[in-house]
Structure formats: C-alpha cells, structure tokens
Copies of this chain bind each other. A is one copy, B any other.
Amino acid sequence: MELKLIEQIKRTCEKLDRENLYEFIVKGIGDDCAELASPSGRNLIITTDTMVEGTHFRLSYFPPEFLARKLISVNVSDIAAMGGMPFAALLNLEVPSQLKDLDSPFWEEFKKGLLSQLTNFGIRLIGGDTVSLKDRRLGLTLTLLGFIEKERAIYRSGAKEGDYIYVSGYVGEAGAGLKILENRSYKRHLLPRPVKRHLILRYLDPTPRLKLGRLLSGLGVNAMIDVSDGMSTDLSHIARESGLCARIFAKDIPISRPLLLFSKMTKKSALDLALFSGEDFELMWTISPEQAREMEKRAAKVIGRRPFFIGKMERGEGVVLERDGKEMDITFKGYEH
C-alpha cells in the first residue's frame, strides 16, 4: 500500500475515530495491510496494489501468465508481512483497446496464471470490475482479503530497542533481473544463461514468504515488512513507525552468487542493488536477541536455510549503514518505479 495523498486524509479520519464510530478498525493506513476486528478469534486484514503498464511493467518482456501471478504475489506478500493468511480477492481490470478481445491468447495465458496462483494460495476471486479503455495501457488492481488471529498481527511499528534485524533471503536479485530485461546490452554480456534466467525469474515471478510469515507471527517477532520498495526504504518504515534507528552492517547484507556475477559483468554495485532495488518480496523483521536463536532454527525449517542477521534496532532515527568502520545515512533511499 503506497500512500502520500491518502496519508493526508488519514488525519481527518483519525478524528472520526475518536468518536468511536469505528471500533472495529484495529489498524488503518500505514502498514502492509489494514486490520479489522472481528468478534471471532480472527481479524480481517486487507491490502491492495495497482500495477500499470509502462510504469510497473512492459508487455514486451512480461508474459501475461507471470503478470497475473505477480499481481497476486505482491498482495500475498503484504498479507505475509502481517503474519496472516489470504483467502479472497477482488480484481479490477483496465483493458486497453488492443487487448479488448477477452478470448485472445493474451487473456488465456493471463487466466492460466491467475488461476494457478489463486489455487496455490487458496484464494477465491469474489469480485471486481472490468473497464474498457480507448487508448490507454493495461492497468491491474488486486485487493486481497486475509485473516490473522487476534493480537497476532505483526506491525511495522513494533520494533524494540536492542532487537536484531533479519531478512529471509537474498536481496537485489529482482532489481538485477529488471535491469537485464530493460537494458538490451546486458543480455549480450557473458552472463551464463542459468544465472540470467534465475535473476529474471526473481523479478517476473517472485515467491511471497507466506509460510514463513505465518510462522514468525507466532514466534515473538516485534516488527515485520516485506522488501518491495528496497531494503533501505522498507527498513526506514520500520524505523520511523517504531521511533527507532535501524543500524545495518554491509558485511551482513545477503548477496547471492548470481548477483555477484551480474555485478562483475555489468560494473553495477551488488551492495547498491541489494540495498536500494526492490521487488524481492523477502520478509524483513526484528526480534529480541533472546528469542533470535530459537526463531532462526524454526525459520530454517520453513525456508531451507537460516535467515540472515543484518543489523540491530537502537535509539535514534532513520537507517544507518555501517561499512568498513564508516557510517552512512541511507534513510528512505530506494527504488522508484
């Protein structure tokens, strides 16, 4: 959920809130999902994301099947970052004239991707809206509903001083994949085909960490977010919402072999990609040092390896990168679509 204008309106809505009209809204704007109280043991959570051709993707390199899968994945990732489970979705399609034949191969592939991903995650499509455009680009909005057990949702605002910061996997790979797709000259480099394929697929077909998010929400994790806008920007949200500073260590940022190869071939900094490019859809969370060891063990069983320790929460504000004994403020330095 991206904000700006929407955040301005939040304030007025908060005034309404004090009149107690909305006691069932547990969490409004400003986290991965909104959360609504339910009289049952489970609360409802809801998130929405819009993807627009030309801004978020190009049809020249994005197979429709993957486009549908990713639209679902990015929203599932928001649900995962709260610790919840998705169950129902609404789909809004803005269809440009050149795609108006809904029986064309494009839409057949799109449907295939949509159905496979809905099935993967146990999500049912319950509504939506289709609008035909005369001369515009394809626009896709998915709104995803999920549930979370009462008092178990992990917010961005919950980090505590002294918490360790973790990330679930390698970062920067999706950013490298996008660069390969956007820049034809990279393709001509001597990057081995499997490496290229791996990086591109990390961008086109990310895997949201749903199982891990569920596990972590029961393990005393204090704050959590998914890496969508870049590790630096996303960590800035945790720091700001929690009123603390996030200090991370360059030597601990997980950089994969494929990303290192890409970096070597293209002279792009692997660390910059890891910190500032987005869309890896790994989870990032904070937890007290006492609970960290047990969490590492349990998480390893779900993701196949230990999550990466990358830093600590401390008094102060913003995000600080420590590298070779030097400090750098990288607060809200990130990837812009």
Cβ 8 A contact of A143, one of B8, B12, B40, B90 = B90
**CB-CB < 8 A to A10: which residues of B?**
125
In the bound complex, what is the Cα–Cα distance between A250 and B336 (angstroms)?
57
Given contacts A25-B88, A39-B39, A39-B40, contact A6 B128 (CB under 8 A): yes
On whether the beta carbons of B5 and A130 are closer than 8 Å, the reply is: yes
- The answer to whether A127 and B1 have CB atoms under 8 Å apart is yes
Query: Of the candidates B51, B93, B115, which one forms a contact with A12 in the assembled complex, judged by CB atoms under 8 Å apart?
Result: B115
Which one, A42-50, A173-181, A197-205, A314-322, is touching chain B?
A: A42-50
Cα distance A12–B9 when bound, in Å? 39
* Interface bits A112-147 vs B (CB < 8 Å: 1, else 0): 001100110010111111111111110101010100
Q: Which of A13-21, A269-277, A323-331 contacts B (4 or more CB under 8 A)?
A: A13-21
For the complex, what is the distance from the CA of A133 to the CA of B94, rounded to whole Å? 14
Within 8 Å CB of A91, what residues of B? 6
A residues apposed to B, CB below 8 Å: 1-6, 8-10, 12-13, 16-17, 21-22, 24-25, 28-29, 33-34, 36, 38-40, 44, 46-52, 54-56, 87-88, 90-94, 102, 107, 111, 114-115, 118-119, 122, 124-137, 139, 141, 143, 145, 337
Contacts of A122 in B (CB 8 A): 16, 21
Known contacts A4-B102, A40-B39, A52 near B136 by CB under 8 Å: yes
Verify B34–A129 contact, CB threshold 8 A. Answer: no
CA distance A47 to B13 in the complex (A): 20
Contact B127 A28 (CB under 8 A): yes
- In angstroms, Cα B87 to Cα A25, docked, is 9
CB distance from A132 to the nearest CB of B (A): 7
